[in-house]
Chain A
Amino acid sequence: MTLRTRQLLTNLILAAVLVIMVLWVLFPFYWAFLNSIKHPADTFENSWIPFLQFQPTLEHWRAELAIREIRRALWNSTVISIGAATLAVALGTLAAYALARFRFHRPQNGTITTWFLSQRVLPPVVVVIPFFLLMRQLRLLDSVWALVMLNATFTLPFPVIILSQMFRELPVELEEAALVDGASRFQAFYRVALPLVVPGLVATWIICMAFSWNEFLFALALTTKNAIPMPVIIAGAEHTRGVQFWFVGVRVMLTMLPPTILALLAQRYIIRGLTLGAVKG
């Protein structure tokens, strides 16, 4: 085999692998989308190309969006994820700045960082009962605020770890100059350092948002009617009459699209953010 054919062969294999990977990743999304625009009768046939093989319809989208519970669930999910992400990023940014710019003794910075990360070690199922009882006491059962607070708590490690690395990469001289000019430490943080990490801020905000949007265990345990978010409502898509592919399709799309679209939009920042945070943290 000449070098050239070998190269060609390698490239062919590479291309094949990549095509398979892309299909593997995208197929479930496409499948959900297909089912959401098929007439019920069409879902029992394997047809893959709308307009050519079957007549697409938006009736299920309309029917599902007309359901009050679904609209409310979309709203609840939005409030929960935006609220939790904002809270987590606000608290996390401050802590990240502290870990990047100050040196702590007893416990030291490394220990504090590890402690933040260790929040992910705690299995949610350990604390779901105490939360259930606590929220009942506080009359916050079936309230979105309970979920905002819990999701903020469990996503807090992301902003702390990712952003502290970003702050560390900023030249300190800028803040020093501001301090010399008479700014307070907080002003130096707020006016100088913070604007420079906005891309990282957006990336971590989106990560927190997506994870809060997707959270299921606490949502299932703490909501019964008013505060039900999308991941819980999707459980109702399976009817006693059997799986209704088309409704599953719409609900899956409604649930998965917001976080995935956001993630896609912020892809560059997320990869950069994780590069810095997860690896060197």
Chain B
Amino acid sequence: MTGQLSKTAALPARRRRRDRTSLFFLLPAVVWILLFTLFPLLYALFTSFYSFRFGQRNQFVGLANFERLFIDQNLHSGLRVTLIFVVATVTVEMILGFLLALLLNRELRGKNILRALMTLPLFATPVAMGYLGITLYYEQNGPINEFIRFLGGQGIPWLSSPRWALIAVIILDVWQWTPFVFLVSLAALQSLSPDLYEAAEVDGASGWQLFRHITLPLMAPTLWLILLLRLVEAFKVFDIPTSLTLGGPGRATEVYSLFTYRTALRFFDHGYAAAQGFLLLFIVMLIVSLLFGQIRELYEEGR
């Protein structure tokens, strides 16, 4: 990895020869990450081939842990819950976040304050939101049910009904992460050149046509990128379901990461937990590689 100065940074000739300082800049971060991710990954891979039981020596079990992945009903339940969660949250967050960005990209009075407020949930501690959610969703006199009753509806058994509990988790996640979609979309919208719009307006294009033929195509690469990032994070979800419902009632909100966490640190079944971790990693990598091709294509078209 020997770095050479890029052409833009033209320098006196004797300096231009192989500049080892480039490695001095790059390597600390690279080494640091390798140190902290390569070892644990290899270690996890190693443990995934072992059975780990209390009071016994670790035993090599080959692929047994991976075979369990196929027959474990509870794991499948966790995967199903996670899939529902991912599809629901990411869809809603993408649509809401993008619409909000379009809205606040206009000239509005107080737009800076509005933008600042809209990004706040992104920085609120997710696990704290989960615990706050317990009081927000409180059945008898929680503010959400009070509001529903005020509108003439009936109170919803938010955290005691399996179906509603998952919806409750999804709503909190939407609250927390829509701002991310909003923020990055807004940033991209702001970087679009106004010249195109002016030219199209001169040609008599309507608002909808402007959106359909200019905004959307230009935003496509960014939107795909946001989708990718949100999908990756959503599959790893842990904090909100753990703090809001502890996975319950029953297993209704026991997402994949929570199930694995319990396998590892409640039941100390390290080998099996490691195998579960790799399945999750595999799923996330699959999504990344599928979407990444799409994104690269779009970026290259744009050039």
Contact = CB atoms under 8 A, between A and B. Distances in A.
Interface of A: 14, 17-18, 21-22, 24-29, 31-32, 35, 44-46, 91-92, 94-95, 97-99, 101-107, 112, 116, 118-134, 149-150, 152-153, 156, 160, 172, 175-176, 179-180, 184-186, 189, 210, 213-214, 216-217, 221, 230-232, 234-235, 237-238, 243, 245, 248-249, 251-252, 255-256, 259-260, 262-264, 267-268, 270-271, 274-275, 278-280
B33 A263 contact: no
Nearest to B111: A18
A64 to B, nearest CB: 14
A35 B25 contact: no
A103 B4 contact: yes
B260 interface: yes
A175 B125 contact: no
Given A46-B143, A129-B264, A263-B122, A106 B1 contact: yes
B241 to A, nearest CB: 11
A230 B1 CA distance: 41
Given A24-B175, A125-B277, A156-B32, A131 B120 contact: no
Contacts of A186: 21, 24
Interface stretch (B64-72, B87-95, B179-187, B198-206): B179-187
A153 B36 contact: yes
Interface in B57-77: none
B29 interface: yes
Contact of A260 (B24, B124, B134, B191): B124
Across the A-B interface, give the 9 residue pairs with the lowest CB-CB distance, nearest first: A126-B277, A98-B25, A130-B40, A102-B3, A275-B187, A95-B29, A102-B22, A98-B26, A130-B43
A172 B280 contact: no
Interface stretch (B10-18, B160-168, B209-217): B10-18
A101 B6 contact: yes
Contacts of B225: 278-279
A186 B20 CA distance: 11
Contact of A91 (B12, B29, B124): B29
A102 to B, nearest CB: 4
A121 B26 CA distance: 21
Contacts of B22: 98, 101-102, 104
Interface centre among A28, A128, A217, A260, by most B CB within 10 Å? A28
A130 B41 CA distance: 8
B132 A32 contact: yes
Interface string B37-60: 101110110010000000000000
Interface centre among B116, B128, B242, by most A CB within 10 Å? B128
Contact of B281 (A105, A122, A279): A122
Contacts of B25: 94-95, 97-98, 102, 189
B182 to A, nearest CB: 10
Given A126-B44, A256-B125, A280-B191, 16 more contacts: A31-B135, A91-B28, A102-B5, A103-B4, A104-B22, A107-B1, A112-B26, A119-B33, A121-B285, A123-B236, A126-B278, A180-B12, A234-B125, A243-B138, A248-B134, A275-B191
B143 A121 contact: no
A150 B36 contact: yes
Contact of A149 (B30, B36, B256, B260): B36
A134 B39 contact: yes
B148 interface: no
Interface string B274-289: 1011101100110010
Contact of A116 (B5, B33, B265): B33
A28 B128 CA distance: 11
Nearest to B7: A103
Contacts of A112: 26, 30
B229 interface: yes
Contacts of A210: 123
Given A18-B114, A172-B8, A279-B188, A217 B261 contact: yes
Contacts of A104: 1-4, 22, 26
A28 B116 contact: no
A189 B141 CA distance: 59
28 contacts: A14-B103, A25-B121, A95-B26, A98-B25, A102-B3, A102-B5, A102-B26, A105-B4, A118-B288, A124-B236, A126-B281, A127-B40, A128-B261, A128-B265, A129-B47, A129-B270, A129-B274, A130-B39, A130-B40, A150-B36, A172-B8, A176-B11, A216-B239, A217-B238, A231-B128, A237-B131, A256-B123, A271-B115
